[in-house]
Chain A
Amino acid sequence: TMFATQVYGDNGKMKEYHYTGPVEHRFSPYSFNGGTVLAVAGEDFAIVASDTRLSEGYSIHSRDSPKCYKLTDTTVIGCSGFHGDCLTLTKIIDARLKMYKHSNNKCMTSGAIAAMLSTILYGRRFFPYYVYNIIGGLDEEGKGAVYSFDPVGSYQRDTYKAGGSASAMLQPLLDNQIGFKNMEGVQHLPLNQEKAVQLVKDVFISAAERDVYTGDALRICIVTKDGIKEETVPLRKD
């Protein structure tokens, strides 16, 4: 358009402004590339799911950029936020995993990876990695485990967690369907793998309806003692 210049605001979203005088332009090291991640822990399985859209402002960079990364045979991490930091962070985690394996002669457990990630993130407390992380995997007893993080390393173990751009839409739905919150007289059935996968698919369909940054396709990683299975489901592309 000829009359309004569009400028990227601090978090990567476009801003239109009227020229009212000299404006100081600052270089922002961050950019917001969108994406939603979700992890659910079951009795003997864990699911980490993410959409595959990479966007910036109102444009799409890629329709096939999944945000789940396999760390070990029993752990998957989902990272959303600034894609540059996501890539660097996963590289650093991979390197640290190798170092641990070579010094201690065993693979890192999910809990250990979570604790390590917390210190890695806090190490950059004053120039943070702009990444929302969720780790999903099996703990030492073989039970499902989910660890959710904030950008500077605060973490806790959860049963289920949504992160990224549509997290505020998904989390209440999960609270209701998995946590049985705000419901009375409903049987608290334990979540089995099939129901959990169906729920994750439905929840992402809803997120794609109302969040512009979520869509294109859904990548689901199911972690069980037999390994990691991947499934891809198409979502809205508009």
Chain B
Amino acid sequence: MALSNVVETPASGFNFENVSRNVALEGLLEGGHTKAPKPMKTGTTIAGVVCKDGVVLGADTRATSGEVVADKMCAKIHYISPNMYCCGAGTAADTEKTTDLLSSNLTIFSMNSGRNPRVVMAVNILQDMLFRYRGQIGASLILGGVDCTGNHLYTVGPYGSIDKVPYLAMGSGDLAALGILEDRFKPNMELEEAKELVRDAIHSGIMSDLGSGNNIDICVITKQGVDYIRPYQESEYKDKRQRRYKYRPGTTSILTEKIVPLELEVVQETVQRMDTA
């Protein structure tokens, strides 16, 4: 019986396979007057707080592509395992895929060992991967979870640095959120108080930072289970318009119409009974 490796040991040293390809691509694109597609960043406010009974994570729901809002209701709190969730800021694709990869790896580990994964394990896997990619993966993550050793909150940076802290904010709105957290955080807070604090921190990011906005998602992780509240608070700004903009059928002009009948010839016909018992 072969034990699958949870994390495949990569080749030693740094992996520079794609460097020459990237340089060539950049040159091609500049010459061809086309620009490289801009990766969608989340331009975010995410925050996390450790309280008496568990961990509370919060995030806004706006994803920006440059100065345009690409997604007004994007989910930034990602599932890692039944006892761990991760907020992601930075390049949207990177946070999605990194957390998916981590989640899959931890599921395999749980099945292999029969144990719930610990938060430190997730953090170490993340750190290892992000460092290996030398910051090319633009993912700033806040990982929070409850395991047999207690309630933990970690941050992992895009270059692979980690920090274990009782409260935290990341993303473009981090300074605004951190202001609120620094003012009102106390160790061993009650759950409701912690939820309000995280909500206020994210709200401050939403109002002060142009990259964050729309609704607030909250995720509460305790020993008893997880409460993923999406949205915890909907944006108070409703886009209610004064006129209705509806078009009658036929408003779009049809310039030409071409109908091509498909000539189908029945070559062979077989009947297969389905077992519907």
A interface residues, Cβ below 8 angstroms from B = 1-4, 13-14, 16, 18, 55, 58-60, 165, 177, 182-186, 195, 198-199, 201-202, 205-206, 209-213, 235-238
CB distance B242 to A184 under 8 Å?
Answer: no
**Interface set, chain B 204-220, CB cutoff 8 A to A:** 206-214
CB distance B239 to A206 under 8 Å?
Answer: yes
With a CB–CB cut-off of 8 A, which chain A residues contact B251?
183-186
Smallest CB gap from B244: residue in A: A202
CB distance B140 to A60 under 8 Å?
Answer: no
CB distance B241 to A238 under 8 Å?
Answer: no
**A185 vs B43: C-alpha distance in the bound complex, in angstroms?**
44
Shortest distance in angstroms between A130's beta carbon and chain B's nearest beta carbon? 16
Smallest CB gap from A213: residue in B: B67
With A1-B174, A202-B241, A205-B241: A238-B157 Cβ-Cβ less than 8 Å: no
With a CB–CB cut-off of 8 A, which chain B residues contact A60?
208, 210
CB distance A55 to B210 under 8 Å?
Answer: yes
Task: Please report the total number of B residues contacting A with Cβ < 8 Å.
Answer: 42
Other A-B contacts than A210-B68, A212-B64, 20 sampled, CB-CB below 8 A, are A1-B157, A13-B66, A14-B172, A16-B138, A55-B210, A60-B210, A182-B253, A184-B253, A185-B250, A186-B251, A198-B242, A199-B243, A209-B239, A211-B68, A211-B69, A235-B237, A236-B213, A238-B212, A238-B214, A238-B235
CB distance B210 to A198 under 8 Å?
Answer: no
CB distance B242 to A201 under 8 Å?
Answer: yes
* Secondary structure class of chain A's binding surface, majority of residues: loop
**A88 vs B197: C-alpha distance in the bound complex, in angstroms?**
44
9 A-B pairs with least C-beta separation? A238-B213, A236-B237, A184-B253, A198-B242, A212-B210, A202-B241, A238-B206, A210-B69, A58-B210
- Cβ-defined partner of B69 (8 Å) among A184, A186, A209, A237: A209
CB distance B207 to A237 under 8 Å?
Answer: yes
Smallest CB gap from A182: residue in B: B252
With a CB–CB cut-off of 8 A, which chain B residues contact A58?
43, 172-173, 209-211
**Binary contact track B38-72/A, C-beta < 8 Å → 1, others 0:** 00000100000000000000000010101111001
Asked if B170 is an interface residue, CB under 8 A from chain A, the answer is yes
With a CB–CB cut-off of 8 A, which chain B residues contact A199?
243
Asked if B135 is an interface residue, CB under 8 A from chain A, the answer is yes
CB distance A209 to B252 under 8 Å?
Answer: no
With A199-B243, A238-B206: A185-B248 Cβ-Cβ less than 8 Å: yes
